[in-house]
Amino acid sequence: MGKLRFAVSCSSNMNRSMEAHSFLQYTQNGLLNMLDRNRRIKDMPQKFQHFSGKFDVIICLEERVYDQIVEDLQTRDTNEGDSVHVINIDIQDNHEEATIGALFVYDLCLRFKI
């Protein structure tokens, strides 16, 4: 078997902490640090529905996103019949849970490669 192709999808490309309304709050709640970290990880936000490539495993980080991805896959116009595993792991969208969840997802992906 060749190298597995993975996708990880959530509802946004940053944590759901946009309730803060001032620069001070953004600094105090770590939002600016999170945004800086996110810029180093990804060049830009990506929307799964706009990607036409293939994946072997898609890991969703929220049930609503899982539902959207399954629906999108069912409506795609393809005759290839390739299989894809879609897995949902509900992870709360805050820095601490995102860090713990990232380690869990990483471990899961390693286990797929065995």
C-alpha separations of 58 from 30, 79, 92, 98 in Å: 29, 20, 18, 17
Rounded Cα distance between 81 and 84, Å, is: 9
Range 28-33 average pLDDT: 72
Higher pLDDT, 5 or 74: 74
Span 72-84, pLDDT tens digits: 999 887 777 788 9
Residue 1 in domain: no
Rounded Cα distance between 43 and 45, Å, is: 7
pLDDT level of residue 70 (50, 70, 90 thresholds) = very high
Q: At residue 70, what are phi and psi to the nearest 5 degrees?
A: -60, -45
- Give the CATH number of the domain where residue 78 resides: 3.40.50.2300
Quote the domain boundaries for residue 44.
6-113
- With CA atoms as reference, report the closest residue to 16 among 65, 59, 55, 54: 65
Count up the domains in the chain and report the number. 1
pLDDT score of 86: 95
Residue 11 in domain: yes
- With CA atoms as reference, report the closest residue to 9 among 44, 46, 50, 52: 46
Q: Is the pTM of this model over 0.75?
A: no
